[in-house]
Structure 1
Amino acid sequence: MKLIIINGPNLNLLGKREPHIYGATTFEESYTALQNKYPTVDLHYFQSNIEGELIDKLHQVGFDFDGIILNAAAYTHTSVGIGDAVKGIETPVVEVHISNVHAREEFRHVSFIAPNAKGVIAGFGIKSYQLAIESFL
C-alpha cells in the first residue's frame, strides 16, 4: 500500500507551535514512529506552507497512490482550490486535523475538503494520522 501524508501551513512548527493544542512532538518524530509502526506501508511525506505547492502535490500523487492523508491546516477552511484538487483526483483522501476543529473558532467549522474526502478525522492529536492510516488498511 502506497500512502502519502500531505501537511499544510505551519505544521512544520509542530513541537514548537502552541504545544497546548498541537503537542510537543515534532512531525518528523511522529513520521518516524508511523514508519516503524507500519513497515509494510510505503509511506511518503510532504509539507508546504504554499497553497499552490499543495495543489501541485495532490495532482502529482492523486492518480498513482492508494491513499492521501491530508492536513491542509488553515487552508482547509479557506482554499476552494485545494477542495477542487481533491475533487479532481482519483486517489481517496482522508482529511486529518490534530485538534478538534469543531471546538475551536467558528471559521474552522467549515471545510472545503470534507465534501470530497473519504472521511474526516479530527481531535485525536498526532494519533489522528495513525487513525487515517488504519482507515486505508
Structure 2
Amino acid sequence: MAKLVYVLNGPNLNMLGKREPGIYGGATLADIEAECRAAGADLGLEIEFRQSNHEGVLVDWIQEAGERGVGIVLNPGAYGHTSIALHDAIRSVSPMPAIEVHLSNIHAREPFRHKTMTAPVVVGVICGLGPIGYRLALEALAARQ
C-alpha cells in the first residue's frame, strides 16, 4: 500500500503560469501536480495535492496530514514569511516530516522573503530550483520511510 504524502500549496500558486513567469517559470500548478503524481508513483507514494489562498484551510490540511499521512511537502507561498499559525500547525504534527519548497530563490529576492516562519519546524527547505524542487522533496520523504 502506498504511503500518503500531502503536497500543499499556499496563496497565489493557483496563478502559476500567468503570474510573473520571469520569477516563477511557465509551469502551471496543474503541471506541477502531474509531475508530483508521476514522482509519487515512481517512489511508491500516494499524493494528496491541494492549494488554498486561505491560511486557516492550510492549517486544517496540515492537521489532517498529521492524522492520515506520512509526510508533507509545503509551498507556503507568502504565508511562509508571515504565518505563525502554519509554524504551529507543522509543529503540532511533528515528528511527521515536512519539507518546505519555494520555486524561486527566496534569498535572492526582497529582504522580507529571506526568512520564513516555517523553516525552523521543517526537516528541510528547497528553494530556487523551480518545479523540480517538489520532486526532490518527495524523494527526500520517500528516503525517510
TM over 0.5: yes
d(CA) in 1 for partners of 2:46 and 2:86? Answer: 24
TM-score normalised over the length of structure 1: 0.95
Report how far residue 46 of structure 1 moved. Answer: 1.0
d(CA) in 2 for partners of 1:62 and 1:18? Answer: 33
CA 130–17 in structure 1, closer or farther in 2 if over 3 Å, else same: same
Report how far residue 77 of structure 1 moved. Answer: 0.5
Ranges in structure 1 where 5+ consecutive residues have no aligned partner: none
Contact 2:102/2:126 (8 A) holds in 1 = yes
Equivalent residue number for residue 59 of structure 2:
55
Equivalent residue number for residue 47 of structure 2:
43
Ranges in structure 2 where 5+ consecutive residues have no aligned partner: none
Question: Considering only aligned residues, what root-mean-square deviation do their CA atoms show, in Å?
Answer: 1.1
Aligned residues: 137
1:7 aligns with 2:9: yes
| SS, match of residue 117 in structure 2 | coil
- Structure 1 stretches of at least 4 aligned residues deviating more than 2 Å after TM superposition: none
Equivalent residue number for residue 123 of structure 2:
118
Report how far residue 63 of structure 1 moved. Answer: 3.0
Q: Percent identity, aligned pairs only?
A: 43
d(CA) in 1 for partners of 2:77 and 2:36? Answer: 20
| SS, match of residue 38 in structure 1 | helix
- From 65, 68, 72, the equivalent of 1:64 is 68
Report how far residue 34 of structure 1 moved. Answer: 2.5
TM-score normalised over the length of structure 2: 0.90
